[in-house]
């Protein structure tokens, strides 16, 4: 996945152009910048590649989620449905605007279970936020239907699945809003950065203003611009955007490599009876950022995780025990450990989850191993890796 593995001349050239002009800010300084607008160019390239009308680049993926929610008018007391398996950024962005994260089960797609989503809807629900974890997507057809039936927004977190598609359309472009992260370990990186994509003119305008202190960006004098509503600073710098501009032009090359490496590993593991692969919803094509599979039960998954590491297969994750990606270790959220006071609405409305609330998530995530697909591997290395994985896993399955 990480695009930094293949940094090269394109990245250097774009960054050098920013340093040559000396304009590190994305707005203003028109006379000094030699016609170079890296953030704007990255937005144009993203909108074109993702087949949407608008893209807004911001300082991180978490910022993108926060700005996306704010741009659609989501605020205090609104409930946002999110999965139990995701990165902490999901609830951070929801809490940042005073809204309420409502945790919902994932199924064998490792993303939101549509039936559990429908059961979690209350009169206060405003948004369904599927997270396309580890290179593959939620069942967007089913979720879209639920959102239409109940008048809810669909906000896709495509931070880990850039380049994947659903029914022929890029992930992120199918919901009302879609978000990407370009942090250092994502498929394409800016160092730090993120983006919101949408076809909704109003959400885009709001995202543009909100992410820059409410500036309306009318005219050429920043000091004289108006502020129609409160905003914040989620701007990206031109230096970061320059790296992203190089990387987005290489996205399809990166996807080709991910698919190639994934396919070699998958073909090897398919020969092992007892291994089941994560379900990809009908009509979906993965970004191939990870290869995710299920062992017969939690014990064999734990053993598989250690056996892979022992055999020198790095980059395989057992998310069930992970501090950052699975609800079981989010005690700071579940026990409301904050520096200052939370908004009243959050304190009142945050559900008190019981231990058995997420038995479906536990069933699937407890049996799952996800292996990162790297770009920089040689074919030789991938084949070697495939044999090592088979060697590590086979004994565990024979004992079943
Ligand atoms: C990386 C990531 C984010 C947040 O991105 P940052 O740029 O690190 O803030 C959000 N959601 C998911 C699923 C991610 O993997």
Model confidence at 355, in pLDDT bands (50, 70, 90)?
A: low
Whether residues 70 and 144 fall in one domain: yes
- Considering 209, 230, 250, which residue would you say is the last residue of a domain? 250
Residue 189 CA to ligand 1 center (angstroms) comes to 11
Q: What is the pLDDT of residues 156-167, one digit of tens each?
A: 999 999 999 999
Q: Report the number of distinct structural domains present in the chain.
A: 2
Judge if 219 and 338 occupy the same domain: no
Nearest to 248, CA basis, from 58, 65, 41: 41
Do both 233 and 268 map to the same domain? no
Q: Is the pLDDT of residue 384 over 70?
A: yes
364 band by pLDDT with thresholds 50, 70 and 90: very high
Residue that terminates a domain, selected from 221, 250, 279? 250
**pLDDT higher than threshold 60 for residue 102:** yes
Q: Which atom of ligand 1 is nearest to the CA of 63?
A: 9
Give the per-residue pLDDT at 398.
73
34 and 68, same structural domain? yes
| Whether the predicted pLDDT of 22 surpasses 80 | yes
Do 65 and 214 share a structural domain? yes
Instruction: Compute the distance from residue 371 Cα to the ligand 1 centre, in Å.
Output: 18
Mean pLDDT score, 236-260: 98
Are residues 244 and 256 located together in one domain of the fold? no
Among 62, 187, 330, which is best to mutate for testing ligand 1, by the most ligand atoms less than 8 A from CB? 62
Quote the pLDDT of residue 141: 98
User: Looking at the structure, do residues 244 and 168 belong to the same domain, yes or no?
Assistant: yes
Exposure string over 160-199, b if 16+ CB within 10 A, otherwise e: bbbbbbbeeebbbbbbbbbbbbbbeebbbbbbbbbbbbbe
Pocket test for ligand 1, best of 2, 3, 4, 61 (most atoms within 8 A of CB): 61
Say if residue 241's pLDDT is above 80: yes
Interval between CA 158 and ligand 1 midpoint (Å):
9
Percent of all residues in the chain with a pLDDT value above 70, rounded to a whole number: 99
Residue 399 confidence class, pLDDT cut points 50, 70, 90: low
Q: How confident is the model at residue 356 (pLDDT cuts 50, 70, 90)?
A: low
Q: What is the mean pLDDT of residues 312-329?
A: 96
Predicted local distance difference test score (pLDDT) of residue 189: 97
Same domain, 246 and 256: no
Looking at residues 63-83, what average pLDDT do you find?
A: 98
Give the mutation target among 58, 87, 92 for probing the ligand 1 site: most ligand atoms within 8 A of CB. 87
Find the residues whose C-beta lies inside 6 A of ligand 1. Answer: 60-62, 86-87, 89, 131, 157, 159-160, 181, 183, 194
Residue 232 sits in the same domain as residue 270 = no
In a shared domain, residues 353 and 220: no
Together in a domain, 84 and 187: yes
Any idea what the CATH number is for the domain that residue 359 is in? Answer: 3.90.1150.10
- Please tell me whether residues 345 and 365 are part of one structural domain: yes
Domain harbouring 12, CATH code: 3.40.640.10
160-189 tens-digit pLDDT: 999 999 999 999 999 999 999 999 999 999
Range of the domain at 241: 3-250
> Which amino acids are annotated catalytic?
186
Q: Atom 3, ligand 1: which residue's CA is nearest?
A: 61
User: Among 250, 267, 287, which residue terminates a domain?
Assistant: 250
Q: Which residue in this structure is represented by tokens 């191939």? A: 288
pTM above 0.95, yes or no: yes
| Cα–Cα distance measured from residue 82 to residue 117, given in angstroms and rounded to the nearest whole number | 9
When pLDDT is cut at 50, 70 and 90, the band that residue 353 belongs to is confident
Tell me the CA–centroid distance for residue 83 and ligand 1, in Å: 14
Given a cut of 90, whether residue 357 has pLDDT beyond it is no
């Amino acid at each position: 996945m990480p695009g930094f593995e293949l940094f090269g001349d394109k990245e250097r050239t774009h960054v050098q152009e920013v340093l040559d002009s000396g304009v590190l800010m994305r707005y203003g300084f028109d006379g000094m910048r030699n016609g170079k607008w890296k953030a704007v160019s990255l937005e144009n390239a993203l909108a074109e590649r993702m087949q949407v009308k608008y893209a807004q680049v911001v300082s991180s993926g978490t910022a993108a989620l926060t700005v996306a929610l704010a741009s659609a008018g989501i605020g205090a007391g609104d409930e946002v449905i999110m999965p139990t398996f995701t990165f902490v950024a999901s609830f951070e962005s929801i809490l940042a605007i005073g809204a309420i994260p409502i945790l919902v089960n994932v199924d064998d797609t490792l993303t939101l279970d549509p039936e559990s989503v429908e059961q979690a809807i209350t009169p206060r629900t405003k948004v369904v936020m599927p997270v396309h974890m580890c290179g593959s997507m939620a069942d967007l057809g089913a979720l879209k239907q639920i959102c239409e039936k109940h008048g809810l927004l669909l906000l896709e977190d495509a931070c880990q699945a850039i380049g994947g598609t659903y029914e022929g359309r890029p992930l992120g472009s199918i919901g009302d809003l879609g978000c990407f992260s370009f942090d250092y370990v994502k498929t394409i990186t800016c160092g730090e950065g993120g983006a919101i994509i949408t076809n909704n003119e109003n959400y885009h305008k709001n995202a543009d203003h909100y992410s820059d202190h409410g500036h309306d960006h009318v005219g050429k004098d920043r000091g004289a611009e108006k502020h129609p509503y409160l905003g914040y600073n989620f701007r990206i710098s031109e230096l970061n955007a320059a790296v992203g501009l190089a990387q987005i032009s290489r996205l399809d090359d990166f996807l080709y490599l991910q698919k190639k490496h994934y396919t070699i590993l998958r073909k090897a593991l398919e020969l092992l009876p007892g291994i089941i692969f994560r379900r990809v919803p009908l009509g979906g094509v993965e970004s191939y950022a990870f290869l995710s599979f299920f062992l017969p039960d939690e014990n064999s998954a734990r053993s598989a995780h250690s056996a892979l590491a022992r055999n020198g297969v790095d980059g395989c994750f057992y998310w069930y025990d992970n501090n950052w990606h699975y609800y079981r270790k989010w005690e700071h959220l579940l026990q409301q450990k904050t520096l200052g006071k939370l908004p009243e609405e959050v304190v009142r409305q945050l559900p008190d989850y019981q231990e058995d609330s997420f038995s479906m998530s536990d069933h699937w995530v407890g049996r799952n191993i996800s292996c990162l697909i790297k770009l920089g591997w040689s074919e030789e290395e991938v084949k070697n890796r495939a044999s090592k994985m088979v060697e590590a896993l086979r004994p565990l399955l024979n004992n079943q």
